[in-house]
């Protein structure tokens, strides 16, 4: 009898302990105090800021092109892939030679710049940094025009939305709205200026982007974002919850501690966490850890020593192409490691080389990689990660996104997850890889955002 009593007491104690820990993990911290006008430009903040909005034209000038081609032609011979290996050890150098030859001989710099310039480009100075963006207003009449902020990730730029923009600004059957698109280069990416001051985390980027939208006259707007753009948008939506009408992300992630606990619990009871048909995207954990160990070396390097790898790549366009394109390939289809292209052939080669050319022409490799380090260096980022975002949210999970979280976990961070889509194709660079599927989901999601906001108002 005493043995059973002791066992019961122990069981009750364990349950109380688990309950207390669960309650602790569910607690929401206070929003940290944030400087919404922090100066990121060189030197001290001037008394009078330049708030002008200036038209901008993308040019791949002849000096840059000649220097680039000269460096490519003078590249050394590469070590061949190991016998029986294709892309398992990284960029297949035989395939890389084909890309570099195409870049040197067939990539039409003038035509690609002309294509990029078919949209209106602008620059304006926000908190000391020149921020570049595309702003396209639809021409169609008799439609509601909704402002939509588009945010990319690494190693990309607003160019990633090149094919999605006309789909977003063109009327479609069954919808009474279209979008006015504002596609931004994140600070330190593309044609946007970076900073030499520590602290420009995705949280601080979110503040800059919010101030940009205010500069452009938008007090309320929708957001679509992936990768680091999704992180910046998540923080923006968390800090300025009354200003974001809806947040659509193709990299949905909850980083709250309670979500991490659920992930571990799911390894023991997977059916409790995720539908059987998607279980393989999360479990067994050893497969996830194996994948992360194999593919996250660049992440660790960029999160700790971005300037070292930046220096190694800044002087070599061939190395820059190998480093960045290999990551685009693996994140587009990681099941194609056994092929020479490693997933790259799912995306048009000119679109890939636009991305690398923009990075090279603007010398953005180091400044863009610093976001990895800044994201983990500042306590306020982790605090905001742990605050729920009540903005209506939509998640689309493409097959080869870096991580997969089911709705039950995502709702830890996004309680008002009003639309969720899981697809058996596509990858991390959705706007460049599968733009139609992405845009279709944006339209469907905004319908749900509007319904949610109307119900909240009523």
Q: Supply the DSSP string of 273-333, one letter for each residue.
A: TS-GGGGGGT-SHHHHHHHHHHH-HHHHHHHH-HHHHHHHHTT-HHHHHHHHHHHHHHHH-
Pairing status of strand 144-151 against strand 177-184? parallel
**In the annotation, is 105 catalytic?**
no
**In the annotation, is 372 catalytic?**
yes
Residue 342 region by backbone torsions, left for phi larger than 0, else alpha for psi between -120 and 50, else beta: left
Tokens of residue 132, six digits: 């570049």
**In the annotation, is 152 catalytic?**
no
Residue 23 burial class via C-beta count within 10 angstroms: exposed 0-12, middle 13-18, buried 19 and up:
exposed
Selecting among 372, 385, 386, 433, the annotated active-site residue is 372
Among 413, 238, 436, which Cα is nearest to 405's? 413
The DSSP call for residue 204 is H
CA dist., res. 154 & res. 357, Å (int): 14
In this structure, the dihedral spanned by the alpha carbons of residues 22, 24, 30 and 36, taken in order and rounded to 10 degrees, is -60
Selecting among 130, 162, 227, 412, the annotated active-site residue is 227
Selecting among 341, 385, 428, 433, the annotated active-site residue is 428
What 3-state class would DSSP assign to 125? strand
The size of the chain, in residues, is 458
| Catalytic residue numbers, as ranges | 227, 372, 428
């Amino acid at each position: 009898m005493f043995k059973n009593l002791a066992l019961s007491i122990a069981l009750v104690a364990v349950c109380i302990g688990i309950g207390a820990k669960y309650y602790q993990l569910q607690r929401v911290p206070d929003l940290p105090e944030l400087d919404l006008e922090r100066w990121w430009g060189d030197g001290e903040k001037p008394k009078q800021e330049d708030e002008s909005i200036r038209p901008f034209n993308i040019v791949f000038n002849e000096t840059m092109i000649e220097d680039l081609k000269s460096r490519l032609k003078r590249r050394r011979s590469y070590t061949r892939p190991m016998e029986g290996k294709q892309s398992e050890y990284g960029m297949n150098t035989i395939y890389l030679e084909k890309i570099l030859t195409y870049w040197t001989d067939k990539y039409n710099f003038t035509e690609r710049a002309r294509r990029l310039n078919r949209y209106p480009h602008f620059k304006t100075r926000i908190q000391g940094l020149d921020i570049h963006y595309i702003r396209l207003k639809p021409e169609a009449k008799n439609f509601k025009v909704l402002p939509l902020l588009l945010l990319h990730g690494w190693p990309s730029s607003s160019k990633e939305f090149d094919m999605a923009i006309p789909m977003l600004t063109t009327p479609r059957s069954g919808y009474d709205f279209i979008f006015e698109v504002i596609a931004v280069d994140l600070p330190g990416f593309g044609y946007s200026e970076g900073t030499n001051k520590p602290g420009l985390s995705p949280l601080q980027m979110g503040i800059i982007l919010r101030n940009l939208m205010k500069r452009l006259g938008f007090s309320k707007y929708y957001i679509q974002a992936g990768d680091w753009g999704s992180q910046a948008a998540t923080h923006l939506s968390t800090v300025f919850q009354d200003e974001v009408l809806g947040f659509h992300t193709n990299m949905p992630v909850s980083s709250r501690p309670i979500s991490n606990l659920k992930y571990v619990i799911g390894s023991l009871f997977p059916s409790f966490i995720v539908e059987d048909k998607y279980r393989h995207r999360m479990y067994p954990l050893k497969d996830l850890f194996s994948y992360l160990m194999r593919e996250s070396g660049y992440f660790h390097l960029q999160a700790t020593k971005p300037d070292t790898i930046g220096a190694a790549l800044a002087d070599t366009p061939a190395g820059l192409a190998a480093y960045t394109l290999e990551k685009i390939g693996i994140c587009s289809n990681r099941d194609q490691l056994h092929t020479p292209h490693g997933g790259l052939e799912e995306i048009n080669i000119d679109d890939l080389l636009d991305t690398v050319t923009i990075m090279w022409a603007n010398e953005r490799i180091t400044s863009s990689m610093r976001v990895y380090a800044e994201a983990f260096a500042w306590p306020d980022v982790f605090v905001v990660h742990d605050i729920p975002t009540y903005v209506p949210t939509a998640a689309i999970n493409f097959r080869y996104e870096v991580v997969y979280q089911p709705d039950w976990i995502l709702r830890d961070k996004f309680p008002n997850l009003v639309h969720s889509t899981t697809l058996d194709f596509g990858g991390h660079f959705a706007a460049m890889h599968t733009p139609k599927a992405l845009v279709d989901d944006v339209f469907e999601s905004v319908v749900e955002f509007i319904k949610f906001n109307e119900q909240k108002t009523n």
